[in-house]
């Protein structure tokens, strides 16, 4: 995106921090009520989609969110590396320690607070970040006294739409749904010529009584779930627009921020 384009976006009240200058941010802060931080991951998604899958989905979703709440939201830069130990046996995956991400997210929250922003929402693109996001929100509330929360943009907020429309038996990673969401949000990350159905070894991996951590290659040797060949722009649109509508509603209800 060129500077003129980002200038236009800003004039519409879509505030993306990394595309702004400080005088522009100072002006925007007169109306902005909520800081939003996309949190991604750099990890394998089978042969179907590239390493920026979760990062690009989180970032592009936040752009749509900012468009829905003009002048009210300031979107920070995406955090590109999350918790992905369970994918480390696949070449290229990067991870940080839970303690590192926890401290990092807390530090960014503290920074927003220095500029007068008391409300913060983490938008999560990667399931492996969930437990750390819970902890980060606990720290940010009790140590920084900010109003804070996190939400996911697929299963967490549009699980019912997925259950209704998805054809694959098992999904959730590098799958029909995630590939579809990318076709809608960031098609550059989809390797259309390499889409393939997954061979899943343990379809019940997350449906057992006792919660146990796992290694992804033991669940799916190829690294993905479901059948990405069935992905579509339309499914991605249905999942994303549902999640977006619900999250905008929740921001109004839980943060008291509306258009």
Name the site residues for Zn ion (rule: CB under 5 A). 53-54
Strand runs labelled E in 119-236: 119-124, 147-152
Closest distance to Zn ion from the beta carbon of 227 (Å): 16
The residues facing 42 across adjacent strands are 94
Task: Give the torsion sign (CA, 164, 167, 169, 174).
Answer: negative
Residue nearest to Zn ion (CB): 54
8-state DSSP, 173 = S
CB of 161 to Zn ion, least distance (A): 18
CB 133, min distance to Zn ion, A: 15
CB of 175 to Zn ion, least distance (A): 9
- Cβ proximity to Zn ion, 14 vs 42, nearer residue: 42
The CA-CA-CA angle for residues 36, 123, 259, to 5°, reads: 50
CB 37 within 8 Å of CB 15: no
Please say which residue, 106 or 179, places its beta carbon nearer to Zn ion. Answer: 179
CB closer to Zn ion, 12 vs 221: 221
The Cα 67–Cα 61 span in angstroms is 10
- Residue 84 or 244: the one with the smaller Cβ distance to Zn ion is 84
């Amino acid at each position: 995106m060129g500077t003129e384009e980002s200038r236009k976006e800003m004039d519409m009240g879509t505030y993306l921090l990394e595309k702004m200058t400080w005088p522009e941010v100072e002006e925007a802060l007169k109306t902005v009520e909520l800081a939003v931080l996309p949190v991604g991951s750099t990890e394998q998604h089978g042969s179907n989609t590239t390493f920026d899958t979760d990062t690009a989905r989180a970032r592009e979703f936040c752009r749509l969110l900012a468009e829905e709440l003009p002048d009210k939201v300031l979107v920070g830069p995406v955090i590109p590396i999350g918790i992905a130990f369970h994918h480390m046996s696949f070449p290229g995956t990067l991870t940080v320690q839970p303690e590192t991400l926890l401290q990092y997210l807390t530090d960014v929250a503290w920074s927003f607070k220095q500029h007068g922003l008391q409300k913060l929402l983490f938008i999560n693109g990667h399931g492996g970040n969930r437990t750390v996001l819970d902890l980060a929100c606990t720290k940010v509330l009790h140590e920084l006294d900010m109003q804070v929360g996190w939400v996911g943009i697929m299963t967490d907020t549009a699980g019912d739409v997925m259950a209704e429309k998805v054809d694959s038996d098992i999904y959730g990673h590098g799958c029909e749904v995630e590939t579809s969401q990318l076709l809608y949000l960031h098609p550059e990350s989809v390797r259309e010529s390499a889409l393939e159905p997954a061979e899943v070894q343990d379809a019940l991996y997350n449906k057992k009584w006792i919660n146990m951590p796992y290694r992804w290659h033991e669940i799916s040797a190829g690294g993905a779930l479901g059948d990405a060949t069935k992905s579509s722009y339309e499914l991605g649109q249905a999942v994303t627009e549902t999640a977006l509508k619900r999250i905008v509603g929740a921001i109004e209800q839980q943060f008291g921020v509306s258009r």
